[in-house]
Chains A and B, each alone.
Chain A
Amino acid sequence: MSDLMIWVIILALGLGTFLIRWSFLGALGDRELPSWVLRMLRYTPVAVLPALAAPLVVWPVATGGQPDAARMAAAMVTLAVGLVTRNVILAILGGAVTLFGLLYLL
């Protein structure tokens, strides 16, 4: 992707993100959101981020799209540690150690 397009993305994303954050504080005030909108908003991160990650786990770029045991295991460990400890850093560390360990062993 060209440098120009990356800057277009940065500026559009910067402006759009600011407008989302500013929306109610600046323009919409006390207007109540319909409850179905609130419901959808509540589930944006848990729907978007896993949907982005899942294909990367199953068909990793680094192996040319071949499913890879080390990466699959690392993803599972990250999920398990995150669910049990509720700690983001521990989950990342668990996944990273698994990935490095298995890539070294296999």
Chain B
Amino acid sequence: MAPPFQPTPAPEHPRDPVDARALARSPREAFWHGVVQSLPFLILIIPFAILFGVVSLEAGLDVAQVLGFSVLVLAGASQFTAVQLISDQAPTIVVILSALAVNLRMAMYSASMVPWLRGCSPGQKAWVAYALIDQTYALSIQHYERHPRLNLKQRLAYFAGTALVLCLPWMIASWLGATMGRAIPDSVPLDFAVPITFIAMIAPMLRTPAHLVACFVGIIGALLLAGLPNGLGLLIAAPVGMAAGAVTEAQMERRRARR
């Protein structure tokens, strides 16, 4: 993820038809463009949300609490983390800290949106912040960087389109999962839904040696410290894994610079 940056000056593509089309869109058209480009992500989001509802019900949450999570927190991985730790009977503070740690990456998203949304009202910024999930961020930042000369209204409208398509179904489908959950027979090994989901989310992220080191150290730490009470092992193992990844990245950079 890039550190905060200045928008690059408009590239000279006088005859770039895609760029010309993007710049010619009215805010309403930009909104629909965001809607359409978000639709493929629903293949991932809807089953995930249903699973969240089902797993939460298993953990003893009621439908209102499931909706509370999906509307107020609106962050898949951290919602799964919290529910898993709740069912492990971890202390409240450990649940909150662990689930927040999963969301720390979003500070980077926030930072990299700043140069593109300069001039928005505080209210608009608050709405963007609320809906700044992995997919709305990824789609919007790609769109803004591809078309640096979009005006502020076009940028906000595109973001609103992605947010509507990606956030609302997350809420509805988790509610659906929480109401359907009772129909799932006890023989289905739902206990394993969370670890499988997490492994599946992480595997595609293991792109660099540093990511592998962070993951490996996190795992070893968690296994060695599993005897500690109250999920304390996670609170130690995770930062150690993060630091290991960061140190590896710094070393790789130094080695590259020396060459």
Give residues in A with beta carbon < 8 Å to B: 1, 3, 5-14, 16-18, 20-26, 28-33, 35-36, 38-62, 71, 74-75, 78-79, 81-83, 86-89, 91-92, 95-96, 99-100, 103
A43 with B211, Cβ < 8 A, contacts A50-B202, A58-B223, A96-B196 known = yes
Closest 6 CB pairs of A and B: A82-B203, A47-B241, A14-B72, A43-B245, A91-B200, A39-B246
Asked if B242 CB lies within 8 Å of chain A CBs, one says: yes
In whole angstroms, what is the CA distance A2 to B250 when docked? 45
A13 with B211, Cβ < 8 A, contacts A6-B65, A79-B199, A87-B204 known = no
Contact A20 B77 (CB under 8 A): no
Number of A-B pairs, beta carbon distance below 8 Å: 292
Q: Tell me the smallest distance from the CB of A101 to a CB of chain B, in Å.
A: 12
- Interface size band for B: 35 or more
Asked if B249 CB lies within 8 Å of chain A CBs, one says: yes
Contacts of A24 in B (CB 8 A): 4, 107, 110-111, 113-114
Q: Tell me the smallest distance from the CB of B3 to a CB of chain A, in Å.
A: 6
Contacts of B86 in A (CB 8 A): 1, 6, 9
Contact B92 A40 (CB under 8 A): no
In whole angstroms, what is the CA distance A88 to B205 when docked? 10
Asked if B122 CB lies within 8 Å of chain A CBs, one says: yes
Q: Tell me which of B96, B202, B215 contacts A9 (CB under 8 A).
A: B96
In whole angstroms, what is the CA distance A45 to B202 when docked? 8
A53 with B114, Cβ < 8 A, contacts A40-B242, A86-B204 known = no
Q: Tell me which of A35, A51, A79 contacts B241 (CB under 8 A).
A: A51
Give residues in B with beta carbon < 8 Å to A: 1, 3-4, 43-44, 47, 60-62, 65, 68-69, 72-75, 77-78, 81-82, 84-86, 88-89, 92, 95-96, 98-111, 113-115, 117, 122, 125-126, 128-130, 132, 189, 191-192, 194-206, 210-211, 214-215, 217-219, 221-223, 226, 233-234, 237-246, 249-250
Contact B114 A25 (CB under 8 A): yes
In whole angstroms, what is the CA distance A78 to B129 when docked? 32
In whole angstroms, what is the CA distance A34 to B205 when docked? 23
Contacts of A46 in B (CB 8 A): 202, 205-206, 211, 214-215, 218, 241, 245
Q: Tell me the smallest distance from the CB of B240 to a CB of chain A, in Å.
A: 8
Contacts of B197 in A (CB 8 A): 92
User: Apart from A26-B125, A46-B214, A74-B192, what are 11 other A-B pairs with CB-CB below 8 Å?
Assistant: A9-B92, A13-B69, A22-B126, A24-B110, A25-B117, A42-B245, A47-B238, A48-B102, A52-B98, A59-B226, A81-B203
